[in-house]
A = this chain, B = another copy of it.
Amino acid sequence: MNDEEMKMIQDKASVLVEALPYIREFNRKVIVVKYGGSAMSDKNLEESVIKDVTLLKLVGFKPVIVHGGGKEISRWIEKLGMKPCFVNGLRVTDKDTMEIVEMVLNKVNKDLVTLVEEQGIKGCGISGKDGGVFTVRKKLSEGKDIGFVGEITEVDTTLIENLLDDDFLPIISPIGMDQDYRTYNINADDAACAVAKAMKAEKLAFLSDIKGIYKDINDPDSFISRMSVREANELMDSGFVGGGMLPKLNSCIDAVMGGVNNVTILDGRMIHCLLLEIFTDHGIGSAIYK
C-alpha cells in the first residue's frame, strides 16, 4: 500500500469516526423526513434519499417518511382531461379530484415502498386513513370552501409505533378522514409536522427545492445555518422571507414549539443531503431550534 492509498484509507476512517457521536445522539430516536419536490422527480436524487433513509434505519434510528406528490397529481388530472385548480396555493378538491388525488398519492406511496424494499429494508406504505392515523376537519381558504382539503385535528400514532416496533419503515401519504369518514387531502408539510409532534420525534427534516433560508433572499451570503424560533419569527416579520417559504417556516416553528428538538430545511437537490446533515459537521441546511 503506497502513501496515497494509505491517506485515502485514513480519510475514510476519519469520516466514519466523525459520524460516531451523531449515531449515538440519534440512536433509537424517531426522525421524520418530509419527502417531496425535486428530490422526488429525479431518479438519482430519489435513490440517494431512499439510500440515506434506509441507512438511518440500519444504524438504529427510527425514520418515518411522509411524502407529497403534487406534480404527479397534476399530471394525472390532466391525463384525465380535467384541469388542476388552485386557490391561494391550495388545490380545489371536489369529489372527482379527491378520487384522483388519493389514487396518485397511493401510487407514489407504493413506488417508495418498492425503492425501500430494493434496499433490503422492510417498508410499509400507509395512508393516514389506515389505523385512523389522521383525523381531519375541512380547511377553508380565506373563508372559502375549496372541497376535500383537510387540516389535522388528531394523530393516532398506534399504527406508526407498531410498525416501528415491528421493525418496518413507515411511509405515509397525507390523506385522512373526518369524523364522518369522508376522505380529505392534507398538505404534506403539515402532515409531516403533525406526525413529528405526535411521535415526539428527535428531528424533522424537510427536503425542499431550495438551499435553505436566507436573511435576504437576494443575497447568497446571507444563508442561515441555525436560527432560534425567536429569530425565525423576527425574520418573518421583517418581510424578507419569500412567499413559498412562509408556510414551511411556520411549520418549522410549529414543530419546534410542539416538542421536536431539531427541525431542518434541507436542499433535496443535493445528493445524500440527509446523511451529510446528520453525520457530518457541515451545516448543509437551515435548522430551527428552541
Measured CB to CB, the residues of A under 8 A from B are 9-13, 15-20, 23-24, 27, 51, 54-55, 58-60, 79-80, 99, 102-104, 106-107, 109-110, 113-114, 117-118, 120, 122-127, 129-132, 158-159, 162-163, 166, 168, 175, 177, 181, 183, 271-272, 275-276, 279-280, 282, 284
Contacts and interface: CB of A to CB of B under 8 A. Distances in A.
A280 B106 contact: no
B159 A168 contact: yes
A102 to B, nearest CB: 6
A54 to B, nearest CB: 8
Contacts of A158: 122, 166
Contact of A17 (B51, B99, B166): B51
Nearest to A124: B130
A260 to B, nearest CB: 23
A58 B23 contact: yes
Contact of A10 (B11, B16, B127, B271): B271
Contacts of A123: 130-131
A16 B55 contact: yes
Contacts of A20: 51, 54-55, 58
Residue among A59, A60, A110, A280 facing the most chain B CB atoms (10 A cut-off): A110
Contacts of A102: 107, 110
Q: Give the 3 A-B residue pairs with the shortest CB-CB distance, closest first.
A: A13-B272, A106-B106, A162-B166
A15 B181 CA distance: 26
A215 B176 CA distance: 48
15 contacts: A11-B11, A12-B15, A15-B15, A23-B55, A24-B120, A59-B60, A102-B110, A103-B104, A110-B127, A118-B181, A124-B126, A126-B126, A162-B162, A162-B168, A166-B166
